[in-house]
Chain A
Amino acid sequence: MSKITHHIPEEMLRAYAAGTLPQPFAVVIAAHVSLCDACRASVETEAALGGALLSELAPAGLDEGARDRLFAALDTAVPPPPPLRGSGIFPAPVMEALKGQPPRWKMLGGGIRQQILSADGEGSLRLLYIPRGRAVPEHSHGGLELTLVLQGSFSDCEGRFAAGDVEVASDDLDHQPIAGDEGPCICLAATDAPLRFRAMIPRLLQPLFRI
């Protein structure tokens, strides 16, 4: 994936590494970093700085038995199972969110499908399938929205987003993404607030669709 042009803003990468982002955003960022050498390099540069700060820290005194306790534990240490691998267009963090299963799409109308991966107080995470040339209903959202393209592409007022690209949309952006002509567009979308679609689905029905 060498042609990624839309990345995670640095501040957000930093907040991800600090563990302070809502879970849905953290999954999108982990998925993007899985695909993007540039952002992976940023995360690792940050870790280099963390490592340097750690090395320069004044050591604290350890319990007397700490070393022996650890060495005793090595004998019985059971290595953790290897982390999940990616599959097809889904990098490991998405497979993790899918619990290792292929997506189970729900029809939304107009050929658009979605699978909600999580929806709770931290926001929502879902996979979206948009047929070629089709528009996602115009919507605005109460918070921040992150959309990672996994397959195909979409375009909106902010530009064209292809596989690996992430769009960061604030609540004042009224955008209408349209899937590219090369085929269906599959995205991973996260919000920290419920979406509000303008048309197509009346507000009252939103809880039913959980969007």
Chain B
Amino acid sequence: MSLDGRLTSPEARDAFLPEAPGSVSMVMHRRKSKETCVTPAERTEQTQWLLAVRDARDREAFGRLFDFFAPRLKAMLLRSGLRDGSAEDVVQDVMLSVWNKAAQFDPHRAEASAWIYRIARNRQIDLYRRRPLPEPELVQEPESAEPDAAQILAMAQEAAQLRAALRNLSPEQTEALRHAYMDELPHSEISRITGLPLGTIKSRIRLGLDRLRRDLSDLRSR
């Protein structure tokens, strides 16, 4: 996919400038948040598997991660337009990176799904960029640091809450988010595909994120 000239339109550039205060509509109607019963247990399990891979090179745990994530990674890659065979190859690549980079996984800052998503996303990006995406420096944790179980659990709970919030979005909002997070689409191309004006798409993405964030902060302040 050619991304040449992706920042050439004035609208595209303006999108990166800080917006005037109040320009983002905050008047959004909050759907009554159903008291969704969220159990983080399932996902904590995924994080435990990844920790077992990280700390003990546990192949059974790795197999479980594969069984959950590989078919979903393939779905993500197919969405972005890869052909079946290529998607299979990239899934292999990504899962191999999960094995190789497990030492970099920090459960205090990410759930397994977020960490694996980022590896996959960056791999997906590298496929169409001429150069690898520059990545931030890794945070160096002190060697002696003990794992903080409460923090790890809180992370899992927030992620579970995030998924619950996702299920509360309208199908259009969810689809716009999928476009932004799973496909290789700069925002300016979303409108071409869905036929929606850019402003609508952008506000839809922001609306989705704002809603998700508020749900998250509700959880924190509880």
A interface with B by C-beta (< 8 Å):
9, 11-12, 14-15, 17-23, 26-27, 29-31, 33-34, 40, 43-63, 66-67, 69-71, 73-74, 77, 79-80, 83, 85-86, 91-93, 96-97, 143-144, 168, 170-171, 192
- Compute how far the CA of A73 lies from the CA of B59 in the bound complex, rounded to whole angstroms: 12
The 10 closest A-B pairs by CB, nearest first: A19-B125, A51-B113, A59-B71, A51-B114, A92-B137, A20-B186, A34-B137, A30-B134, A33-B136, A60-B75
Determine chain B's interface SS by DSSP, over half rule.
helix
- Compute how far the CA of A46 lies from the CA of B208 in the bound complex, rounded to whole angstroms: 12
- Compute how far the CA of A63 lies from the CA of B116 in the bound complex, rounded to whole angstroms: 20
Kindly provide the distance from the CB of A166 to the nearest chain B CB, expressed in whole angstroms: 11
- A54 with B118, Cβ < 8 A, contacts A96-B134, A168-B17 known: no
Please tell me if B70 contacts chain A, counting CB pairs below 8 Å.
Answer: yes
Q: Which residues of A contact B136 (CB under 8 A)?
A: 30-31, 33-34, 40, 43, 91-93
Q: Which residues of B contact A85 (CB under 8 A)?
A: 137
- Compute how far the CA of A105 lies from the CA of B177 in the bound complex, rounded to whole angstroms: 44
Q: Which residues of B contact A66 (CB under 8 A)?
A: 70, 88, 91-92
Say yes or no: A62 contacts B88, CB within 8 Å. Answer: yes
Kindly provide the distance from the CB of B139 to the nearest chain A CB, expressed in whole angstroms: 8
Q: Can you report 22 residue pairs joining A to B where beta carbons are below 8 Å apart?
A: A11-B187, A17-B121, A23-B134, A31-B136, A45-B213, A47-B118, A48-B111, A48-B114, A49-B209, A50-B114, A53-B178, A54-B76, A55-B43, A56-B166, A59-B75, A60-B87, A67-B66, A77-B99, A80-B101, A83-B135, A144-B16, A168-B17
Interface residues of B in 94-131 (CB under 8 A from A): 95-96, 99-101, 109-118, 120-122, 124-126, 128-129, 131
Q: Count of B residues near A, CB < 8 Å? A: 78
Given contacts A19-B124, A62-B70, A66-B92, 6 further A-B contacts (CB under 8 A): A30-B134, A57-B76, A59-B74, A67-B63, A83-B138, A144-B13
Say yes or no: A54 contacts B73, CB within 8 Å. Answer: yes
